[in-house]
Structure 1
């Protein structure tokens, strides 16, 4: 504390100087340290990154059945032993150049045989030959030496076979009509079937007159099915009791039509068989003229 020595009358006592205010230096605010969150027992901490994928053991990839053309372990062991014995024998018999070549090529030969098998044997021989042949054909086709295969022509259905199926279906329909067709009409349908079936088989297995063939196909595939179907469309009581202008019922008309079909089948059969009889007679005359000795030759 200082003493004021200024002028004065001396009556006043010494003056004291007021102390300066104390200045405290500025202190940077303290940063509160990070406090780890309190973990309760049994609680889980949330992750900010996805967990790693679990390890999954994978089986080693195996070649497909058509690609596994190499030797099996047993055959590979036999081939390795034979190859090693070969270059050892070559060195022992002073064929050092052969033994050296076999020794240098051992790794490449073993790898090829293990993957591809022996060139002259093994299950892949036929597949390699087929691939080689296909490559040759492709090259020849590009050069124009081999014409492309013709497109496949769809086979048309045999009309005789179709007629046989229609005939069998009509017979089944007549026999299972439940009494709507009287027994006489069903028997007439069976008679048509007995006449047509062997004739259709005959024209299908050998050459026949085109007109006869057409008549048989029309009888079995058109006329007989239409006759039966037109009758079965009518109600049962109407077909048996209704009278037409000629005084006949539809059942009578059905029997009359089936009778005409039977007669037509017999005519076609006679026409077909007469050609066979004529052919047989011609053969008899030919053999008689060729092999029978006349009286002048005696």
Structure 2
């Protein structure tokens, strides 16, 4: 309520409120209650408010995101990056064993590793992917499903982990992944192959949180490949990896070894033993 200083009475807040409560009365009736002229009454804005146009409300309504169409090279890169990450996720499980404690506590330099000795190695044959390699002992098999833009892919890994110090190296591994037809070394351009291996290397370095030391372009019987060396665990160890894209199958082989044994012969002996048996 408002107090009128002229007529000394309490009155409604304004004429508009008074009329809404007294619809049968008019302004002459209202003037008899208060000391006010008609010109003093605020004019009510009776302009109709139009509903906002659709374009006016677009900022408050979530817009449907247009799905970006990936180029073939981008798609290939996503796939290989995901698969390589899966390979080294499994390798990372190895680091959760005694090796992790030894390396992280920087005690690896005090470990006495055996000298390189390949005299008693055995041939391992993988009929699932038509290849064979030499391993110090029979490797264990692992598998991992990887989700990609074009569906799930399966990574098959074969790994042997010697007891720390009993071997010159700390881990031997081989894996393969069969890609869909979009990835095929015989159908891809040089640019696409370069993208494929660049993403492979980037995915690998990121997955092991390492530092890329070197990259070499290699091949196996004309099939394209790469060899890389990555420093891991603050320089305490190195992983050497070779990968080949044979039609639509990618093969990856790697050895993890202490950095102080950078030139032990068993590293290349293992990597050089890779042989395709059915291509």
Task: Say yes or no: TM over 0.5.
Answer: no
Q: By percentage of residues, which structure has more strand?
A: 2
Query: Taking structure 2 as the reference length, what is the TM-score of the superposition?
Result: 0.22
Query: Taking structure 1 as the reference length, what is the TM-score of the superposition?
Result: 0.21
- The one of the two structures with greater contact order (alpha-carbon pairs below 8 A, sep at least 6) is 2
Q: By percentage of residues, which structure has more helix?
A: 1
